[in-house]
């Protein structure tokens, strides 16, 4: 019985053959593609975002998008690694666009807070705006569950009680995580020489 290409006893196909099998929807070709080019794709993502979850997410998104969109891949027109690189560039651009949107929303919140007449509740508003800016700059450094809690608090504007209800984490723990996380974020910015809004 002849050995099957790609098995331990056989010989892996060359890159062009992997591309042809990928376009044909052969699942083993996705495994080969990942083994051969995930490092290159991940390297691009790391250069864009630094090492960490963002780069890992983009790498995964590239291969998922490539596989689900394989009907658009033409192996005779472009080699598979070049197609993957193109998808990676789009995913990186999408991720930066999301970050930029979050920053614009935060800047709009700052402008709105500054335009609001001073009143008894303004210190709380200023604190929320300052914390939101800190979170935007430092969110990627947080682990779970702190990151998830902070995202719910600052990007979805949930109260502590709502976060507790949604996540199943006790209310006191939610409050502690937010307090400690914001303290760490402030400390990091102070070490970097950044000043918080007065």
What CATH code is carried by the domain that includes residue 84?
1.10.1740.10
**Residue 20 located in a structural domain:** yes
**Residue 54: band (very low, low, confident or very high) from pLDDT cuts 50, 70, 90:** confident
Which of 186, 56, 183, 100 lies closest to 194 in space, CA to CA? 186
Q: How many domains, the chain?
A: 2
Q: What is the pLDDT of residue 190?
A: 61
CATH assignment at residue 177: 1.10.10.10
Residues 151-190: pLDDT tens digits?
777 777 778 888 888 877 888 888 887 888 777 766 665 6
CA of residue 144 relative to chain centroid, distance: 14
**Residue 197 located in a structural domain:** no
Indicate the pTM of the whole model.
Answer: 0.51
Q: What is the pLDDT of residue 127?
A: 55
- Residue range(s) defining the domain that contains residue 57: 15-98
**Residue 70 located in a structural domain:** yes
């Amino acid at each position: 019985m002849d050995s099957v290409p790609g098995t331990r006893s056989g010989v892996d196909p060359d890159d062009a053959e992997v591309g042809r099998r990928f376009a044909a929807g052969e699942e083993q070709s996705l495994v080969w593609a990942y083994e051969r080019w995930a490092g290159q794709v991940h390297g691009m993502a790391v250069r864009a975002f630094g090492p960490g979850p963002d780069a890992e997410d983009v790498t995964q998104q590239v291969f998922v998008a490539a596989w689900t969109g394989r009907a658009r891949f033409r192996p005779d027109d472009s080699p598979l690694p070049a197609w993957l690189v193109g998808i990676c560039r789009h995913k990186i651009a999408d991720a930066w666009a999301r970050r930029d949107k979050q920053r614009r929303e935060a800047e709009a919140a700052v402008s709105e807070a500054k335009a609001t007449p001073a009143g008894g509740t303004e210190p709380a508003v200023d604190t929320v705006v300052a914390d939101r800016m800190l979170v935007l700059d430092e969110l990627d450094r947080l682990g779970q569950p702190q990151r998830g809690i902070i995202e719910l608090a600052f990007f979805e504007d949930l109260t502590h009680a709502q976060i507790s209800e949604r996540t199943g984490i006790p209310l006191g723990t939610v409050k502690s995580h937010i307090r400690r996380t914001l303290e760490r974020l402030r400390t990091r910015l102070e070490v970097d020489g950044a000043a918080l809004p007065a």
